[in-house]
Every structure is written in structure tokens, then in C-alpha cells.
Amino acid sequence: GSAAQTRAMKQVAGTMKLELAQYREVAAFAQFGSDLDAATQQLLNRGVRLTELLKQGQYSPMAIEEQVAVIYAGVRGHLDKMEPSKITKFEKAFLQHVISQHQDLLAAIRSDGKISEASDAKLKEIVLNFLSSFE
């Protein structure tokens, strides 16, 4: 459970648990109705993307700080406009980018055990810059 999570993971996964619970609840009802307000549609859109983001290949472990970086992009809404079919491609490319170009950030998250204000700002900048060139 969450007792075994690092503070960094709790920072990003805490909101994700709530959003995915709401998504599952609303998704069950949404299939029966077509008149969804903007907030409900947003909830469904993000839920689909977060679910895609959580898919992990068998025998493909990820370091906690890498998971945190990827989940951060999803829970902060940076992937809301991305086609769900591109999420896996984004995740792989983004991880390669962060691992090759931003080891300092990963090391800070790993050693701090949390996302500091500085790491949060840097991670946001990295995600936005990466998304601007991602196709």
C-alpha cells in the first residue's frame, strides 16, 4: 500500500488514486448517457490517459524516480490533449530523454525521496519542453 511508497511517489500518486477512482465510477455511468458536462468529459479523458500511463511491460522494472517523472506528466495534466494511442510512445521517449539528459533531476528525486519545489519546477519545464517537440 501507500505506507511503502516514497514521499515522491505519494506526491504524484495521491491525486492519481482519487482521479482513477472517480474515472472508474463515472466511466460506468457514462456508457449509458451521452450528455456529459465539460468536467465529466475532462475526468474521463484524463482517466483514459492515466490508465495508459500505468501499463508496464512484463519484466520491465522502472526505478521509482523514473515512475515519478512519468506519472507527474499525467497527473499534472500535461498529457490531457495527447491521443491515448500515443501515451506508450511518449512514455518510452520521455524516459529515454530524462535518463540521458536529466540524471541530476532523477538523482535529486532519488536522494531527497520527494519532489522539492526546485525539482517540481524543473520537471515541469522538462515535460513542457519535451512535449513541444514530441510527435
pLDDT in tens, 65-101: 999 999 999 999 999 999 999 999 999 999 999 999 9
The reply to whether the predicted model has a pTM over 0.85 is no
* Rounded-to-integer distance, Cα 47 and Cα 75, Å: 10
H helices of 81-116, where? 87-101, 103-112
Span between the terminal Cα atoms of the chain, in Å: 36
Q: What dotted CATH number matches 2-133?
A: 1.20.150.20
* Rounded-to-integer distance, Cα 128 and Cα 73, Å: 9
In which residue are the cell numbers 520491465 written?
Answer: 60
**Maximum distance among all alpha carbons in the chain?**
48
Span 97-122, pLDDT tens digits: 999 999 999 999 999 999 999 999 99
Cβ-contact 122, 105 below 8 angstroms:
yes
